[in-house]
């Protein structure tokens, strides 16, 4: 499910918002046999610093291509819902796609794609992380910007983020389901009951209802657990103000 991202902010911030919003990406590799571009669909998640994480099968053509050349491009498409589509944002992220055994990457991916838990441990599947080198952001007509990989990767400590994420997610799901539904129904304009928070990072949190995944972005980058809590509280207040205004006009 796609939700329009705001078009304000620097190119790196906009690119990360777009990357974190998407649960799938177009994966471009170089054909090992024919030396021509090969593009496939892959599901994706992001680490706390926005590093893309993929789960790929050794049997797939793109994985055989990676064995010969790990250089890839990932296209994150945020154009659904825009008319015409070319007015919508998209970002191509280039770098080296490398295998990872980092437990955090597995956790982040499966939180985003719980169905993958049924096959993630098969012998022919491996997790990969993108070592980002550069990106090309098209934020609609008239805004096209390059982004350095060093700017794209959020300068935070992923281990520290992992230390507070579980507590935040569990607390919200156990005690504040009403707030999560306000985020989804009011701020992200996506109806439904039973929304859950699945992940949280310094730039926002992920929500899920069945197969529908949403991204709720913070207004600023959270530097601490206290900042995360403050952002979540302020977003609840914003949703209630919007909801109250809607009620008054009906």
pLDDT over 60 at 226, yes or no? yes
Do residues 216 and 235 make contact, with C-beta atoms less than 8 angstroms apart? Answer: yes
pLDDT of residue 3: 43
- Model pLDDT for residues 134-152, shown as the tens digit of each residue: 999 999 777 899 999 999 9
pLDDT of residue 35: 83
Return the closest-CA partner of residue 45 out of 20, 80, 74, 76.
Answer: 20
Return the closest-CA partner of residue 180 out of 130, 139, 154, 214.
Answer: 214
pLDDT of residue 61: 95
- Model pLDDT for residues 6-58, shown as the tens digit of each residue: 455 799 999 999 999 999 999 999 998 888 999 999 999 999 999 999 999 99
pLDDT over 80 at 248, yes or no? no
Confidence of residue 231 (pLDDT cuts 50, 70, 90): very high
Q: What is the mean pLDDT of the chain?
A: 93
pLDDT of residue 233: 97
Q: Pick 195 or 211 by higher pLDDT.
A: 195
Confidence of residue 245 (pLDDT cuts 50, 70, 90): confident
Return the closest-CA partner of residue 74 out of 66, 83, 64.
Answer: 66
Confidence of residue 247 (pLDDT cuts 50, 70, 90): low
Backbone φ and ψ of 74, nearest 5°: -110, 130
Return the closest-CA partner of residue 74 out of 128, 141, 140, 112.
Answer: 128
Backbone φ and ψ of 87, nearest 5°: -85, -5
Q: Which domains does the chain have, with CATH numbers?
A: 11-154 (2.30.110.10), 160-249 (3.20.180.10)
pLDDT of residue 2: 41
Query: Lowest mean pLDDT: which of 36-40, 71-75, 84-88?
Result: 84-88
- Model pLDDT for residues 165-180, shown as the tens digit of each residue: 999 999 999 999 999 9
Q: Name the strand (E) or helix (H) holding 180.
A: helix 177-182
pLDDT over 70 at 249, yes or no? no
Share of the chain above pLDDT 90, in %: 86
């Amino acid at each position: 499910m796609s939700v329009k991202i705001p078009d304000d902010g620097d190119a790196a911030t906009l690119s990360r918002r777009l990357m974190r919003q998407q649960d799938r990406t177009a994966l471009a590799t170089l054909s090992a046999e024919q030396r021509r571009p090969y593009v496939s669909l892959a599901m994706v998640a992001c680490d706390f610093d926005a590093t893309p994480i993929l789960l790929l099968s050794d049997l797939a053509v793109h994985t055989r291509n990676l064995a010969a050349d790990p250089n890839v491009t990932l296209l994150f498409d945020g154009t659904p819902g825009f008319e015409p589509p070319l007015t919508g944002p998209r970002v191509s992220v280039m770098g080296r796609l490398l295998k990872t055994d980092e437990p955090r990457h597995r956790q982040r991916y499966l939180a985003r794609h719980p169905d993958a838990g049924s096959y993630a441990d098969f012998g022919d599947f491996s997790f990969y992380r993108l070592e980002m080198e550069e990106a090309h952001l098209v934020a609609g007509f008239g805004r096209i910007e390059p982004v350095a990989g060093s700017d794209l990767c959020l300068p935070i400590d992923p281990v520290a983020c992992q230390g507070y994420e579980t507590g935040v997610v569990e607390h919200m799901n156990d005690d504040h389901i009403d707030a999560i539904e306000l985020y989804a129904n009011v701020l992200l304009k996506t109806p439904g009951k039973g929304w859950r928070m699945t992940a949280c990072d310094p730039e926002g949190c992920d929500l899920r209802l069945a197969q529908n995944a949403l991204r709720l972005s913070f207004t600023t980058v959270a530097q601490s657990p206290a900042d995360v809590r403050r952002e979540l509280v302020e977003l609840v207040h914003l949703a209630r103000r919007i909801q109250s205004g809607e009620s008054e006009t009906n």
